[in-house]
A and B are shown apart, each in its own frame.
Chain A
Amino acid sequence: MTTAGSAPRTPHGWPLWEVFVRSRRGLSHQHVGSLHAPDGEMALRNARDVYTRRGEGVSLWVVPSAAIVASSPDEQDPFFDPALDKVYRHPTFYEVPEGVEHL
């Protein structure tokens, strides 16, 4: 195991960690939940016992919850606006003449 890892403590007890599992090779890690642990090494061991009891994963990440920077749901619309008004980013925006294949 190659983790050191420390994280800010919650008011009561151990810090919170977010757990990500790669279910098999070829897929990316996916968030599955969270857990409490005193350090990164214990967080990994606990994550193995809690989230992969039936071979659900081939690789695990644990990340201190406090380290995650998130967009705010309140500014949802303005924040994602730049993506919405650029329809030309989608292939469906373009008209393809009749008979053209493999385009």
Chain B
Amino acid sequence: MQVDVDTPPPVEEQQLRFDRMIADEVRIEPRDWMPEGYRRTLIRQIAQHAHSEIIGMQPEGNWITRAPSLRRKAILMAKVQDEAGHGLYLYSAAETLGVDREELLDLLHQGKQKYSSIFNYPTLTWADMGAIGWLVDGAAIMNQVPLCRCSYGPYGRAMVRICKEESFHQRQGFEILHTLSHGTPAQKAMAQDAVDRFWWPSLMMFGPPDSASTHSAQSTAWGIKRFGNDELRQRFVDMTVPQADVLGLRIPDPDLRWDEATGHYAFGAIDWDELDRIIRGDGPCNAQRMERRRTAHEEGAWVRDSADAYARKHAAAATTTSDAA
């Protein structure tokens, strides 16, 4: 019997093969057949993740010119540059699913795709650079490490690169807070204030409780998501509380206590209305972040156009030379 390789197998057969690969923990690669829902879910998630990385440059970029020493300034610039790189790895992963980076940026600029709500909080003092590195990057790492084993190959590989780079982000934040909290009383108070403002938003970074999370079950079945939001949040609290002791800083939660029975820290209720408000666009900095992003994109247009004109001119010259030869 002849197998005609030009006609793809019927969809049911493709679906079965896809399901078997997911069950066997075999990675899905860009040119494999995949269900439309899987593709759409990944595009939405990877794009949102990429947007978060590049919007995340703003709250920290805010402090580059005012870093307290040349050492701190060099470190902060390297971190912000890493976040730009993370955005690029992720846009590149999203593009393997058949979308274009330009399209995704357009959707972000039109407000049709989201980014992490944590970046809609202002960075009011230098200590916020410490709290962001320690808590925000710390929470991001907790979320991202399981994504290294995501069923979609390019996303998993991008996450491996990102996770390697993130650990310096968290440490430099911890170091900033440690220095401040062992400095003058005013410096320690500044560190405490930053932790007070970033603690609860960091817990919200793990998303709504599993009971209220709409996409979780399907994403888990597809091998995109490995752990529930609540489980990752709990791990983050368990990891962070002892670090706060070393810092000599207080976690702003009167209900926080070690629970002998569960072997975990119990913590207070999260204000989910606050998260909803920010997701709807009413956070303290939503408008400012979007405005800054659009402006940066528009103001960069002449650079893109010039590079383009240069490339065309040289391509034309190369053709003429080879014609003459």
Are A and B bound to each other? yes
Q: Which A residues fall within an 8 A CB radius of B?
A: 4, 6, 10-14, 16, 32-39, 42, 49-50, 53-54, 70, 72-75, 78-79
Q: Are A13 and B92 in contact (CB under 8 A)?
A: no
8 contacts between A and B (CB under 8 A): A11-B100, A13-B100, A33-B92, A33-B158, A39-B315, A53-B85, A73-B32, A73-B33
Question: Which of the segments B64-72, B220-228, B302-310 contacts the partner chain?
Answer: B302-310
Task: Flag if A36 contacts B315 (CB, 8 Å).
Answer: no
The answer to whether B276 has its CB under 8 Å from any CB of chain A is no
Q: A residues within 8 A CB of B161?
A: 32-33
Could you say which residues of chain A place their CB within 8 Å of the CB of B95? 16, 34
- A42: which of B85, B102, B311 is its contact (CB, 8 Å)? B311
The 5 closest A-B pairs by CB, nearest first: A12-B102, A38-B311, A39-B311, A6-B315, A38-B307
Kindly identify, within residues 293 to 324 of chain B, every residue whose CB is under 8 Å from any CB belonging to chain A. 304, 307-308, 310-311, 314-315, 318
A residues less than 8 Å from B314 (CB atoms): 4, 6, 39
A10 touches B100 (CB 8 A): yes
- For A49, what are the chain B residues with a Cβ–Cβ distance below 8 Å? 85
Decide: B100 and A12 in contact? CB cutoff 8 A: yes
Residue of A nearest to B100 (CB): A12
Of A6, A33, A35, A53, which is within 8 A of B311 by CB? A6
B88 close to A35 (CB less than 8 A)? yes
**Nearest CB in chain B to that of A79: its residue:** B5
A14–B100 touching, CB < 8 Å: no
Interface 1/0s, chain B 136-168, versus A by CB < 8 A?
000000000000000000100110010001000
B304 close to A34 (CB less than 8 A):
no
Cα distance A6–B311 when bound, in Å?
8
Cα A53 to Cα B80 in complex, Å, equals 13
In the complex, what's the smallest C-beta–C-beta distance from A43 to chain B, in angstroms? 10
Give the docked Cα–Cα distance between A54 and B164 (Å): 11
Task: Write out the residue numbers on chain A whose beta carbons fall within 8 Å of the beta carbon of B78.
Answer: 53
B100, B154, B157, B311 — which one has the most chain A CB atoms within 10 A of its CB? Answer: B311
Contact: A14 with B3, CB < 8 Å?
no
Do A78 and B5 contact each other (CB < 8 Å), given the known contacts A38-B307, A38-B308, A72-B31?
Answer: yes
Instruction: Contact check, B9 vs A74: say whether CB atoms are below 8 A apart.
Output: yes
Q: A78 contacts which chain B residues (CB < 8 A)?
A: 3, 5
